[in-house]
Structure 1
Amino acid sequence: MATIEAICISRKKGMVKKPVDLANFQEGFGIEGDAHGGKWHRQVSLLAGESIDRVKEKLPSLKDGAFAENIITRGLGLSSVSVGDSIQIGTAIILEITQIGKKCHNDGCVIKKATGDCIMPKEGIFARVIQGGEAKAGETISFC
C-alpha cells in the first residue's frame, strides 16, 4: 500500500518547505498556507521518497521539503504517471497531474551544487486539486 511520507509547505516561494502535521487541500487552489497555492496548474508538487533516498546517499543530511516538494510519497510508483492521471489521497482528496518535471533554477539549486544533480527537473510531479480535504503523513495515496 502506498502512503504519504510527509506533507510540506512554505509561506514564501523560493524557500525550503517544512513538514506539517495536517494539511488542508483546497479545491482549485492547493494547500492552505503554501506559497504555491493559487489558480494555476502547479498547485501541489509530489516527489517519490525513493528518488529522495538516492540523493540522500550523497547528502545524508537532506531534510523533507528540501526540493520544495509538497508531498513525499512512498511505494506509489510516480515514474509511471502521465499528465491527466488522477491521484487519490485518503478517501476524499483528488489531484490531477498537470506537469512532469520543471526547469531548474538558472544557476542550479543548492542540492544540484552539492550533489551534481537535482531530481525535481526530471522527477517532480505537479498537480491541481480537483477535490479537497485534509491529509497527514501516513495517509494512503493511490492512482484512481
Structure 2
Amino acid sequence: MNKVGKVVAINISEKKGVIKKPIPEGEFKEDYGLVGDAHAGKWHRQVSLLGKESMDKMKALGIEGLCTGKFAENITTQGIVLYEIPVGTKIKIGETIQEVTQIGKKCYEGCEIRKQVGDCIMPKEGIFTRVIKGGIVRPGDSIEVIEE
C-alpha cells in the first residue's frame, strides 16, 4: 500500500446533502472537523476523504461533470489508496493529524450523485476521519500514514 499521497482539494458545504465547493484552505479543529462544514461536530465522521482515482473510475464510465466536492468529500486526495488504510490508522494531512474511523458509508436516499449517475463510489471507497490535532490543510499538502 502506498503510504504517501497529496491533497488535491479542500471542499466545504454549509448544509448536508449538497455538493461541496472548493476552498483555498481549510481550518481543521481538533475533535470537530472542518470549520464551517455541515458535517463537522463531535462524532466519528468529522472529515470525509475521497481519492481522485476513485472519481476517475466514475469518469471512465462516461459520467461527465465530475469534479472535486461532487461526492461531498471534504478532502480530495491523490496517490494514496484511502480505502486500504485500516480503521484506527493515524494520518498526517497538512498540519493536521487525523484518525481513520470508518471506511465507506451507506448512501443516503437523495444522493445527488446516485440520481445523476445511478451509482456512487463514496459508499465503497470514501473514508472518514476524526481530527486529533488541528491545523490548516491546503491543496498540494502531503498526506502520510504515520501510525497503523
Count of aligned pairs between the two proteins: 142
Q: Of 21, 26, 33, which aligns to 1:23?
A: 26
Which letter maps to 2:79? G
Query: Aligned residue for 2:142?
Result: 140
TM-score by length of 2: 0.90
Provide the residue aligned with 2:127 in structure 1.
Answer: 125
C-alpha distance in 2 between matches for 1:12 and 1:109: 13
Taking only the aligned residue pairs, the percentage that are identical comes to 54
Amino acid of the structure 2 residue aligned with 1:109: C
Q: How far does the alpha carbon of each residue in 1:68-111 deviate from its partner, in whole angstroms, 9 at most, with x for none?
A: 10011100121311110111013x310001111111123x6232
User: Matched residues in 2 for 1:105 and 1:38: separation?
Assistant: 19
User: Which sections of structure 2, spanning at least 5 residues, go unmatched?
Assistant: none
> 8 Å contact 2:83–2:126 — kept in the other structure?
no
Paired with 2:81 and 2:43, the residues of 1 have a C-alpha distance of: 25
Aligned to 1:109: 111
Instruction: Name stretches of at least 5 consecutive residues in structure 1 with no aligned partner.
Output: none
Cα distance in structure 1, aligned partners of 2:139 and 2:69: 13
CA distance in 1, matches of 2:58, 2:141: 24
Q: Deviations over 1:35-85 (max 9, x none)?
A: 111000000000011001111222121121111100111001213111101
Give, as a single letter, the amino acid of the residue that structure 2 aligns with 1:141.
I
Which runs of structure 2 are paired with 1:21-100 in the superposition (5 Å)? 21-57=24-60, 58-90=62-94, 92-100=95-103
**Stretch deviating more after TM superposition (122-131 or 51-60):** 51-60
Distance across 2 between alignment mates of 1:56 and 1:71 = 19
Identify the match of residue 4 of structure 1 among 7, 27, 30. Answer: 7
Alignment TM-score, normalising by the size of structure 1? 0.93
Q: Distance in 2 between matches of 1:80 and 1:40?
A: 22
